[in-house]
Each structure stands twice: as structure tokens, then as C-alpha cells.
Structure 1
């Protein structure tokens, strides 16, 4: 695992945009694993700017998102499909049929998870997977557990995660308690992984991910087993 120390969130976003631009220059038809939440917002802004300047092309790109809230329709402003449309997809020349997000409206969890794993397999796997890290060390919605999940699965969100996501909803009661998420095994099968970490509230999880024991109680620790992981972290996330 490689660590790149950045001064602040802006530098994280800039460096991440440069790396994704390089990835798409090298392989125009890359399959990107994308993330939501606060960590990649700056990156997506930088990519929109680069697209407007003619520096990056998404016409052959395919994307698979890490997760989606169970029970939310794509047009719901709090869904992750909506997040991706607003932050990236509708601003660039990516083809809508090449963007994939788990089906939050599929009530049968087995079907939803099986179908999403089939999509990733059909695309030939993920060339570059983008990740954030939760305060409890989750990646995607893989919460602390007694085991690492392999494929896409339905997870009950921890109180810690629900609390962190509450800021996006008017009332706590509106925050979904379940989500479909790509499993740790699927994440590890990505050819490259780029993790973004910003803020003092992430410092404990980042330190444990980098230097602690590999344990499902801190899902991000499994990234120590991957041969091509780059962590972009700012001074606060590194406890500095």
C-alpha cells in the first residue's frame, strides 16, 4: 500500500483527478469503480472541469458504483444514482447505458446482488476502484463484522454510518438502514485501487488501515493484501 501525503482536501482532489485522467488516457475504455459521499465530490468537480477543457474523454468509459441504498428510487435526491448524475454523469460525455449502480428497488436481495455481480463480471472486472473510508473503517458499505464479504450483498447499516449520513436527510427517520454494496472480495479484484481520506475524524481509521491488523472489524484493513493501492490522505487524516 502506497501513501501520498497531501496538504488538504483540495490537493487530494487535484491529484486524484490527475490519476484518473492518466488512467483514461492509457486505457480509454476503462471500467471505473466509483464511490459516493463527501470524499470524491472534489474529484468529480475536477473531472468536470477537465472534461470542459478537453483534457479527459468518457465516451468509452464504463462505471460500476460501490453501493446504493435499499428502497430508494434512482430519481430520489438521496439515492446514489442521483448523486452520480448530479456530480458527474450528466456533465460529461459518458453513455448512460455504460453506468451501473445497484438496483435499490429490487426487493429480492439475492436477485439484486447476483445481478450486480454478473454486471461486474460481464465488464471484465474493474480497472480502477475509487474508495473513501468511513470513521469506523468501512469501505463501500462493508461495515465492521466478523467476516469479510466476497460478492455484492445487502448490509444493515451501523449506527455510526447512519449518524454520518443523517446530514443528507431532513430527519433521522428518513435515513435508510440497509444498502446493497459491493463486497470486499470484489473490491480486492480491482486491478488498481485509489482511496481518498480527508479530515481529522478519519485519522484513527486511516492509521488502523495502514498499520493495524487485518480484521473484518476494520474492513479497510483488507486493502493491505492488494498489490496496487494508493492512499491519498491529507494532514488531518494522518493525525498531523
Structure 2
């Protein structure tokens, strides 16, 4: 079962997630991070950036791979995920931009871009910690409902719901791309640690289905139930439909107590 941590708000969640990532980078200087975009991971990136400014760490070997990219959107576009990752992760954290990658969404032989990205991840030794959000329809990365649980990085059509959810980043819904290239569910499952974040009441139904419902392509996020190392950090609103919330709180408190006793011993 995933470790599920219920917190007050996204700021507290970001601080906890950042501490997990900082511990990983400190222990493994050439850590490979899996990077999500959208509004969900912003508090995590902000908290990690603050922590890194006060930590005496060499970040020159840290690498990163974004989950996805819009198809047909040039890298220099302000809402391409290449631009978003540069703006929200690479620059604030002081990472080497040449060691942070997004799937190729433009250029010739675009049908080969998925295989190219898979090869890059494999050459890097795989992803150590994959940051994830979850869509209101249960998607993770851009694996929409119905995606194969064994899928690899590939081109996908975006649902009307996902395009509507992402319209806030564009001037109009018409400007939101209709297709993307995304890491597959099988690709995501190969990361050594999954770190899923969810905030707000509009995520509560999808989160409950992903964490407590049957594993199904209808809720792509449910694939996390099959992973051996998952941390889920959610606010009270997102946790509202979790039937096991009382147990998750008790388990989190017990784990924190064990960790603290180890520090004080």
C-alpha cells in the first residue's frame, strides 16, 4: 500500500515533498528526477529551491526528465513544457539545463520521439523519484482513461476534459493543443519511487479511485497501487472521499514518530 500523507494545504505538502527530494539528492548526487508540470508541483519546486539555496550541494550531476510535452508546440513557446520546466525547475534550482530533458514534440520523424525518449531514460539509469499529479479524470502524465497499463512513451490525443483543465495556461481553449507526447504508464512504473501530489476538491474523486479503487485503465492513476514504493501527499479537500483517511493519518503519525525517535536516539 502507498504511504498516504494528509496535510493542511499545498504549502505543507510542498515542504514534505521537498524534504524527500532533498534527502534523495543529498544521498545520490547524480539523482535522476521525473518532473511533472502544471500547478500541482509548484509548491514542491518552490520549497526545494529554497532548501537548495541553503544546502551545500553540488547539483551539477542532477538530471531530470519531464513527463510529457505538447505535440507541435515549439520549445521556445512560453507554455511548452520545455519552457515551463526551465522557468519553474531548472532556473530556480540552479540545475544544468543540458541535463534536463523533455520529450520531443516537434521535428521530423515525430513518431520516433517516444522511442528516443525511452532510450534516453534508460541510458540515464532510470528515474529515481518520479513526481506526479493526477487529473480530475484520473489521468497521470497525459495517460488518459483507457491507456494501456503497460504503455510506453508515445503520442496521445488529449480529452476535452484535460484540454479544458489546461485552458487556464492559454489565452483561449482553442489554443490548447489536441495532442501530446507522454511517458506511458509502464514507463512511469519503472521509476524507483513515485511521489504523487493532489490538492483541491476537484481531485477527490479521482484520488480515491486511484488509491482505493480497482486497478483499471479507466483510472490510469490506479497503476500506483502496483508499485512497491509510493508516497501520496494530499490536502484535506483532495482527501475528502478517501474511506481510509483515519487509518492513513494514524499510519503517518506513527511513521513520523518512528523517524523522530531514530533522530533522537
- Specify if TM > 0.5: yes
Q: Which runs of 4+ in 1 moved over 4 A?
A: none
Secondary structure of the structure 1 residue equivalent to 2:121: helix
CA distance in 2, matches of 1:27, 1:15: 19
Structure 1 residue aligned with 2:234: 233
The range that moved more, 93-102 or 59-68, is 93-102
- Counterpart for residue 44 of structure 1: 45
SS, match of residue 171 in structure 2: coil
Deviates more, 1:134-143 or 1:93-102: 93-102
TM-score, normalised relative to structure 1: 0.96
| Residues 78 and 169 in structure 1, CA contact (< 8 A), matched pair in contact too | yes
The answer for the alignment partner of 1:126 in structure 2 is 127
TM-score (norm 2): 0.87
Instruction: Specify the SS of the correspondent of 1:4.
Output: strand
Residue 165 of structure 1 pairs with residue 166 of structure 2 = yes
Once residues 35 and 55 of structure 1 are traced to their aligned partners in structure 2, the CA distance between those partners, rounded to angstroms, is 25
C-alpha distance in 1 between matches for 2:152 and 2:145:
16
Contact residue 109 and residue 153 of structure 1 kept, 8 A: no
SS of alignment partner, residue 232 of structure 2: strand
Runs of 5+ consecutive residues of structure 2 not aligned to the other structure = 242-265
Q: Which residue does 1:17 correspond to in 2?
A: 18
CA distance in 1, matches of 2:57, 2:197: 20
Count of aligned pairs = 240
Q: In the alignment, does 2:221 pair up with 1:193? A: no
Offset of residue 55 of structure 1: 5.5
1:95 offset after TM fit, Å? 1.5
Q: How far 1:56 moved relative to its partner?
A: 5.1
- Relative to structure 1, the CA distance from residue 164 to residue 55 in structure 2 (aligned partners, 3 Å threshold; closer, same or farther) is farther
Stretch of structure 1 that moved more, 9-18 or 140-149: 140-149
What are the Cα deviations for residues 94-133 of structure 1, in whole angstroms up to 9, with x where unaligned? 2122111011113534211111011011111111111000
- Give yes or no for the alignment of 1:82 onto 2:83: yes
Structure 2: distance between partners of 1:202 and 1:58? 33
Task: Structure 1: give runs of 5+ residues left out of the alignment.
Answer: none
1:26 CA drift (Å): 1.1
* Separation of aligned partners in 1, 2:148 and 2:74: 30
CA-atom RMSD in angstroms: 1.3
Rounded to whole Å, the distance in 1 between the matches of 2:65 and 2:55 is 24
Tell me, in whole angstroms, the C-alpha distance in 2 between the residues paired with 1:167 and 1:183. 25
Query: Matched residue of 1:179: which SS?
Result: strand
For residue 65 of structure 1, what is the aligned residue in structure 2?
Answer: 66
1:193-236, Cα deviation, whole Å (9 max, x unpaired): 10001110000001001110110010000110001000001100
